[in-house]
């Protein structure tokens, strides 16, 4: 199977309602962080607005935000980031009648089911995923040279020695451009590097170690004493695992804090909105986002991910994957509005080992 990026078919704007569309209306923000009444909320799809220069696409979009007009440029902002004086686009229709056009049919070659009735259209433990895997292999080979792949990882990624090694190999082979996660991901990965355990269990045999329940807390405490993960790694001579590989390969690692965190590690963002801003810096650049075994982080990243992005090659789709052993988890992201997600229901260790093996063997 050879990967072909779907071609984007730009709107023709030939219908009467689009030809005769008025300029989109705006209102000024008077209270910081509060949008004017009748604001237009963005979706995951490409959205065009009628400005003085004609229909204009809002790039770097995100669901459930507002659009600000500044110097004839369109800026998509979270509500909390609105500033007094911002000129916010208003209107609740999406057919062009108010100068707002949401375009959901832009990518040619999208697969559709031609039958009105069909079995197994959802994603479950009975779904066949062979073709999904093959498409993902080819997608990632394409993205390594042409895109920006963001991985959203839960701690299960590092609870098993083989999955941990597999992801390190993906980093080393160029398939990872940024990693988003939480305190637990980094803590237990560094625990694996220092003690070969995760939550006190050997990451290969799963045998519980004597006083192993201290291991992850010791890691956090030592890292906090060092003041940074980089200094901690250097001082204790750690050289394996995901965190070490990210630092070695200059891969951005964004760790968003949680109310349940121990410690946390020095680089963890305690302020959730600061964490969200840092996550979005990478989602803005993303061409593929893959969430592994972390329901809340995957939903958070998924809700920031539009169905498209604009690169030097033009408008292209953003691919979004959610991989988990739980049917509830893989379907939850779709329920939260990320309609473009591809869900794969499987054990995360098997997924990563299978993915790494196929990608690296195909290079040989």
Separation of alpha carbons 46 and 74, rounded Å: 13
- Which residues face 88 on adjacent strands? 27, 68
d(CA 83, CA 79): 9
pTM of full prediction above 0.85:
yes
Q: What is the pLDDT of residues 126-150, one digit of tens each?
A: 676 888 999 999 999 999 999 999 9
Sequence-distant (≥ 6) Cβ neighbours of residue 293 within 8 angstroms? 153, 154, 155, 156, 157, 323, 324, 325, 348
- Does residue 318 form part of some domain? yes
- The answer to whether residue 186 is domain-embedded is yes
Whether residue 275 sits in one domain with residue 182? yes
Contact 219, 191 (CB under 8 A): yes
Name the domain count of the chain: 2
Q: What is the dihedral of CA 263, 265, 269, 271, to 10 degrees?
A: 10
Does residue 162 sit within a domain?
A: yes
Tell me the C-alpha distance between 17 and 98, whole Å. 9
Which has the higher per-residue pLDDT, 263 or 108? Answer: 263
Answer yes or no: do 155 and 243 share one domain: yes
The string of DSSP letters for 64-95 reads: T-EEEEETTEEEEE-GGG--TT-EEEE-S--B
| CATH, residue 256 | 3.40.50.10690
| pLDDT score recorded for residue 328 | 82
Q: Would you give the DSSP letter of residue 293?
A: S
My answer on whether 139 and 86 are in the same domain is: no
Q: What is the pLDDT of residues 238-280, one digit of tens each?
A: 999 999 999 999 999 999 999 999 999 999 999 999 999 999 9
**CA 180 – CA 82 distance, rounded (Å):** 25
As a whole number, the mean pLDDT across the chain is: 92
Select the more confidently predicted residue: 359 or 1.
359
Q: What is the pLDDT of residue 239?
A: 96
Whether 55 and 137 map to the same domain: the answer is: no
Residue 113 or 23, more confident: 23
Q: According to DSSP H, which parts of the chain are helical?
A: 16-19, 130-146, 161-172, 183-195, 215-226, 229-236, 242-248, 272-285, 295-304, 327-335, 348-361
pLDDT digits (tens, 9 = 90+) for 321-351: 999 998 888 887 776 555 578 999 999 999 9
Q: What is the CATH number of the domain that holds 36?
A: 2.40.420.10
| 179 and 319 together in one domain | yes
User: Checking DSSP bridges between strand 201-202 and strand 197-198, what pairing results, if any?
Assistant: antiparallel
Q: Residue 83 belongs to what domain range? A: 16-102
Are residues 201 and 344 located together in one domain of the fold?
yes
Is the pLDDT reported for residue 116 higher than 50?
no
What are the CB-based long-range contacts (under 8 Å, 24+) for 71-74?
74/49
Question: Among 102, 121, 152, which residue terminates a domain?
Answer: 102
pLDDT score at 125? 63
Claim to verify: residue 177 and residue 276 sit in the same structural domain? yes
What is the CA angle 177-216-302, rounded to 5? 35
- What pLDDT is recorded for position 358? 95
| 50 plus 144 within the same structural domain | no
In this predicted structure, the answer to whether residue 26 has a pLDDT above a threshold of 50 is yes
Tokens of 334: 């779709």
Regarding whether 203 and 336 lie in a shared domain, the answer is: yes
* Banded model confidence at residue 124, pLDDT cuts 50, 70, 90: low
Same-domain status, 239 and 348: yes
Question: Which tens digits make up the pLDDT trace of 156-205?
Answer: 999 999 999 999 999 999 999 999 999 999 999 999 999 999 999 999 99
Tokens at residue 176, please?
A: 């990872």
77 and 162 inside one domain:
no
Burial of 319 (0-12, 13-18, 19+ CB in 10 A): buried
- pLDDT over threshold 70, residue 92: yes
- State the pLDDT at residue 332: 78
User: Are 50 and 160 part of one and the same domain?
Assistant: no
322, burial (CB in 10 Å: exposed 0-12, middle 13-18, buried 19+): buried
């Amino acid at each position: 199977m050879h990967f072909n990026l779907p071609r984007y078919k730009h709107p023709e704007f030939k219908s009467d309602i689009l030809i005769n569309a008025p300029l989109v209306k705006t209102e000024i923000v008077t209270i910081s962080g509060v949008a004017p009444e009748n604001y237009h909320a963005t979706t995951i799809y490409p959205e065009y607005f009628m400005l003085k220069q004609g229909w204009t696409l809002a790039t770097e979009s995100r669901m459930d935000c507002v659009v600000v007009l500044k110097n004839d440029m369109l800026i998509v902002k979270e509500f909390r980031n609105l500033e007094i004086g911002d000129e916010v686009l208003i209107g609740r229709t999406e057919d062009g009648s108010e100068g707002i056009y949401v375009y959901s049919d832009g990518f040619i070659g999208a697969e559709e089911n031609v039958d009105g009735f069909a079995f197994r259209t959802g994603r479950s433990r009975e779904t066949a995923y062979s073709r999904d895997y093959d498409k993902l292999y080819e997608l990632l080979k394409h993205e390594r040279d042409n895109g920006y792949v963001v991985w959203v990882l839960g701690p299960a990624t590092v609870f098993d020695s083989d999955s941990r090694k597999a992801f390190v190999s993906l980093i080393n082979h160029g398939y990872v451009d940024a990693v988003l996660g939480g305190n637990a991901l980094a803590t237990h990965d560094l625990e694996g590097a220092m003690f070969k355990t995760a939550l006190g269990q050997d990451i290969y045999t799963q045998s519980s170690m004597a006083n192993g329940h201290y291991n992850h807390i010791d890691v956090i405490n030592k890292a906090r004493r060092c003041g940074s993960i980089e200094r901690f790694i250097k001082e204790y001579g750690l050289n394996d695992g995901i965190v070490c590989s990210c630092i070695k390969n200059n891969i951005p690692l964004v760790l968003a804090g949680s109310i349940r965190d121990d410690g946390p590690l020095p680089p963890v963002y305690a302020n959730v909105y600061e964490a969200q801003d840092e996550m979005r810096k990478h989602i803005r650049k993303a061409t593929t986002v893959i969430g592994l075994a972390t329901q809340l982080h995957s939903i958070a990243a998924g809700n920031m991910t539009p169905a498209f992005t604009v690169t030097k090659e033009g408008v292209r789709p953003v691919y979004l994957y959610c991989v988990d052993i739980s049917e509830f988890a893989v379907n939850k992201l779709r329920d939260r509005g990320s309609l473009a997600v591809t869900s794969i229901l499987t054990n995360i260790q098997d997924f990563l080992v299978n993915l790494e093996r196929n990608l690296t063997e195909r290079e040989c």
